Amino acid sequence: MSSERAGSATGPDEEAVSRFVERFASEMTEAGIQRMASRVFAALLASETASLTSAELAEQLRISPAAVSGAVRYLSQVNMVSRERDPGSRRDRYVLHNELWYETFTQRDRVLGRWEKVLRDGAQTLGPDTPAGARAAETAAFFAFLQQELHQVMERWKEHRATLDLG
């Protein structure tokens, strides 16, 4: 059993952690994230160091190294994890990004901006007085609104985070 999974007398119960990982992964899957990627992400989130090797992930989740590889590839593409080399080793370690959710939502903000531009152009192409053009224009306005609100929320989060005692 890996030291990551072995709890101390004061550490979390291994079975309870496993249930949490599967429960959170299930919620992520329901939200549209790939199942294996959800499980790998939840396992990394629940690990003490936010970092596990492929072998540790495979053992903990009882999945194949190929499944870990595919999940990590997806999570890397969406900037939720990165790959680091263990010092003095050829083993890769998968690590959650610092300020993961902040970075994830910041990335989404950029996507919303690109979508908004395409939709504004599309509204003109479809004709501003047509039902399709009106839908595209309303969607673009919605994304513009989300971007503005998201920016304000992220600023408030930074201020709020500074007041938290997160150890």
Cβ–Cβ < 8 Å for 147, 109: yes
Whether 141 and 85 map to the same domain: the answer is: no
Residues 22 and 82 in one domain: yes
Mean pLDDT in the chain?
87
Residue 92 and residue 104 in one domain: no
Residue 29 located in a structural domain:
yes
CB 140 within 8 A of CB 123: yes
Per the structure block, which two tokens stand in for 147?
């971007």
Residue scoring higher pLDDT (166 or 84): 84
Band of pLDDT at residue 9, cut at 50, 70 and 90: low
Q: Please write the tens of the pLDDT for every residue from 17-39.
A: 999 999 999 999 999 999 999 99
